[in-house]
Amino acid sequence: MTGFWSGRRVVVTGGAGFLGRVVVRKLEELGATVAVPRSRDYDLTQPGVAERLLADTTPTHVVHLAARVGGIGYNQVEPAPLYLHNLLMGTHMIEAARMAPSVDKTVLLGTVCSYPKFTPVPFREESLWDGYPEETNAPYGIAKKAHLIHAQVNAQQYGQKFAYLIPTNLYGPGDKFHPSVSHVIPARIKRCVEAVEQGETKLDVWGTGTASREYLYVEDAAEAIVLAAETYEGTDPVNLGNNREVTIRETVELIAQMVGYTGDLVWDPTKPDGQPRRRVDPSRAEALFGWRAQMPFEDGLRRTIDWYLANRAEAEREP
């Protein structure tokens, strides 16, 4: 603890969400005063609202985590609002933070979905612009990439300080388990638990199972955000990952084993796999602000399952 955050004021958009709650807790433990705006009071897609938020809170730091997100199915049925809402929220917050006299730095969260569909593995930040994202992720991924350009040109022209972080797939206690927004880990945990309870002997799973993902425990991601907000002074994007690639088949089989499901897993190759492979090179984060992921995947998955079983009503609440 350096004492840096003592007396600092931080606005965390999305601070009531899965990742945001952990970031808020860490900042408060370090002595910061944290404001968590709610969308019912501050609709950041609307012009002028971000400026009003920062005038009301006078923060020294802005951490922009608010996002509209979902799994492959959600991306397929809601691509227009995924693009527009995410683009507008980030655009308005970046510009409001640039103009607010109290703000020293803005932290922006990108997405691994921004990388080209066929990026060489491990993904390095230099590859971000080498092709078009995987189609089901493209609207969200491109909106997030636009925020990087906005922040970079603002830094060049106006001296705005920012950090732009690209996490891999997040998971952990507090994740969203409602079918409309859940990603692969919470979605599969929910279905496997239900299959055990209902005595099912067959479980349908989207895709071929050959696609891979890299999972980042929520506590590790929050630690990186706080460290970057305090110490990172560059304008280049920075990957956040645990340097371990896991196939979807391995993921689902491990979840099934942990919850005690012993029936068949039936893969449906007519459903999309999403991006073929994902694993990032996280070395820039370690070099620039001393961060490295700590949670082993199996341990984090067990903690996620245990939290879900103990908090099912909260976990499955409709967003």
Cα-Cα-Cα-Cα dihedral of 197, 202, 204, 209, to 10°? 110
Which among 115, 140, 217, 232 is annotated as catalytic? 140
State both tokens at 158.
């106006």
Q: What is the distance in angstroms between the CA of the first residue and the CA of the last residue of the chain? A: 35
> Which of 48, 177, 32, 171 lies closest to 107 in space, CA to CA?
32
State both tokens at 156.
């060049």
Catalytic annotation present for 232 = no
Beta bridge partners of 108: 64, 164
* CA angle in degrees (0–180, nearest 5) for 301-303-309: 105
> What CA–CA distances, in Å, run from 85 to 82, 173, 182, 233?
6, 26, 18, 28
Strands 202-206 and 215-217: unpaired
Tell me how far apart the alpha carbons of residues 81 and 95 are, in angstroms, rounded to a whole number. 21
* Residues with catalytic function: 140
